[in-house]
């Protein structure tokens, strides 16, 4: 099977959609399929087993409380269309993201199977204005998928489709890592209001249990937050790290904390933490509730006192080795059911069923 994957966000910029595209493409290629990945950018990225084509200058655009690295080049869209026309399957991630995803969808032909995955959760006002056009464009899609019920709700409201739910996949360790030896709390994410890092930093100072807080990532709030909460013996600012280093940090952390304030359709990073042995404390927002499935300690978003209490309780449990190990094993087993390998196989089954239906 020849599979074309369109990622509307620059592949080299850290992000949930980019992580899924990379992981799925590599597994599709390992399964013996020919894979072509299209992404905004001026320089192609290396990826094992897949051809990657960078198209169009990247621009940072504010969207859904974050910043999206997209291209606004129509020329890039035409080039993408030419490449995808030779594929058996076109897999569009976040199909209504401008401009690469949107333009590729509306110009899609009828020879290849067109599959779209909706990632975002949004109730933005502009969706109401976009909806009539989106419903027309969605007629070009053969199959729609959403990563969560929240993302499916957004897709239904935007373009009237009823997606199949296929959660995001995660990298899972071959075996549950050994219990971390120190009370390390970890945050990984963009330093912006939506991700709630400021809430976590305040909560950290309210905690009664001794701990070290490790902060990974950067963003528009980095400079201000580092000035207010400087580096010290119990607080470490690492900036951006490689995927391998991030995974090592997760495996060596007692607790991963995701204090987002909203806008998360599915908390894939929660599953990544579970799959590498870390306990999870997160905000009780719909996307995180769906991802955690009862295997995380959830607290109201934006409340540092509640977050501090939950983190203290989690560290007390960490010091009770028997209780902690049972909880880790249950979370690890759950994460295994949503490994990237499992999710990739679900997509390949969807592609094959769609192509078989077309032949008949």
Alpha-carbon span 89 to 79, nearest angstrom? 17
pLDDT at res. 97: 81
Question: At which residue do the structure tokens 């999206």 appear?
Answer: 68
Alpha-carbon span 141 to 118, nearest angstrom? 12
pLDDT at res. 236: 97
pLDDT at res. 21: 94
- pLDDT < 70 stretches in the chain: 43-49, 62-66, 101-103, 105-110, 122-130
* Interior/surface letters 62-97, b for 16+ CB within 10 angstroms, e for the rest: ebbbbbbbbbbbeebbebbbebbeebbbbbbbbbbb
Q: Is 343 within 8 Å of 336 (Cβ atoms)? A: no
pLDDT at res. 64: 58
pLDDT at res. 323: 75
For 327, residues 6+ apart whose C-beta sits below 8 A from its C-beta are: 279, 295, 317
Alpha-carbon span 304 to 202, nearest angstrom? 6
Alpha helices in the chain (DSSP H): 16-30, 74-84, 100-106, 126-137, 149-159, 197-206, 222-228, 243-251, 268-275, 286-292, 304-318, 321-336, 340-359
pLDDT in tens, 182-200: 899 999 998 999 999 999 9
pLDDT at res. 345: 96
| Structural domains of the chain, ranges and CATH numbers in brackets | 2-169+339-359 (3.40.50.2000), 184-336 (3.40.50.2000)
pLDDT at res. 47: 61
Helix (H/G/I), strand (E/B), else coil: 116: strand
Q: Is 146 within 8 Å of 117 (Cβ atoms)? A: yes
Question: Please, which residues bridge with residue 116 across strands?
Answer: 92, 144
pLDDT at res. 28: 96
Length of the chain: 360
pLDDT in tens, 11-49: 888 788 888 999 999 999 999 999 999 988 876 666 666
Question: Please, which residues bridge with residue 212 across strands?
Answer: 184
* Interior/surface letters 6-45, b for 16+ CB within 10 angstroms, e for the rest: bbbbbbbbbbbbbbbbbbbbbbbbeeebbbbbbbbbeeeb
For 281, residues 6+ apart whose C-beta sits below 8 A from its C-beta are: 255, 256, 257, 258, 296, 297, 298, 299, 307, 310, 311, 314
Helix (H/G/I), strand (E/B), else coil: 286: helix
pLDDT at res. 179: 77
- DSSP for residue 210: -
φ, ψ dihedrals at 204, nearest 5°: -60, -35
pLDDT at res. 107: 61
């Amino acid at each position: 099977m020849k599979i074309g994957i369109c990622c509307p966000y620059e592949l080299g910029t850290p992000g949930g959609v980019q992580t899924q595209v990379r992981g799925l493409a590599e597994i599709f290629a390992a399964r013996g399929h020919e894979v072509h990945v299209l992404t905004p950018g001026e320089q192609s990225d290396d990826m094992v087993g897949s051809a990657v084509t960078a198209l169009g200058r990247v621009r940072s655009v504010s969207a859904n409380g974050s910043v999206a690295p997209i291209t606004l080049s129509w020329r890039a869209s035409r080039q993408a269309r030419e490449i995808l026309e030779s594929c058996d399957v076109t897999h569009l991630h976040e199909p209504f993201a401008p401009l690469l995803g949107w333009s590729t969808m509306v110009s899609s032909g009828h020879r290849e199977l067109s599959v779209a995955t909706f990632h975002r959760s949004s109730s933005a006002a502009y969706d109401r204005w976009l909806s009539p056009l989106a419903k027309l464009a969605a007629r070009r899609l053969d199959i729609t998928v959403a990563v969560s019920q929240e993302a499916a709700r957004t897709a239904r409201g935007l373009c009237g489709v009823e997606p199949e739910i296929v959660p995001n996949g995660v990298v899972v360790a071959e075996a549950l890592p050994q219990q971390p030896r120190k009370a390390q709390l970890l945050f990984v994410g963009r330093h912006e209001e939506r991700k709630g890092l400021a809430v976590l930093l305040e909560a950290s100072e309210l905690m009664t249990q001794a701990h070290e807080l490790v902060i990974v990532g950067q963003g528009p709030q980095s400079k201000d937050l580092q000035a207010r909460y400087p580096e010290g013996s119990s607080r470490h600012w690492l900036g951006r790290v490689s995927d391998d280093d991030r995974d090592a940090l997760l495996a060596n952390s007692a607790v991963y904390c995701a204090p987002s304030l909203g806008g998360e359709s599915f908390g894939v990073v929660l599953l990544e933490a579970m799959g590498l042995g870390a306990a999870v404390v997160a905000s009780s927002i719909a996307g995180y509730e769906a991802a955690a499935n009862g295997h995380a300690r959830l607290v109201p978003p934006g409340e540092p006192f509640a977050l501090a209490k939950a983190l203290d309780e989690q560290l007390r449990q960490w010091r009770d080795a028997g209780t902690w190990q049972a909880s880790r094993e249950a979370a690890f087993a759950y994460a295994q059911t949503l490994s990237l390998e499992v999710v990739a196989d679900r997509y390949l089954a969807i592609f094959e069923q769609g192509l078989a239906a077309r032949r008949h």
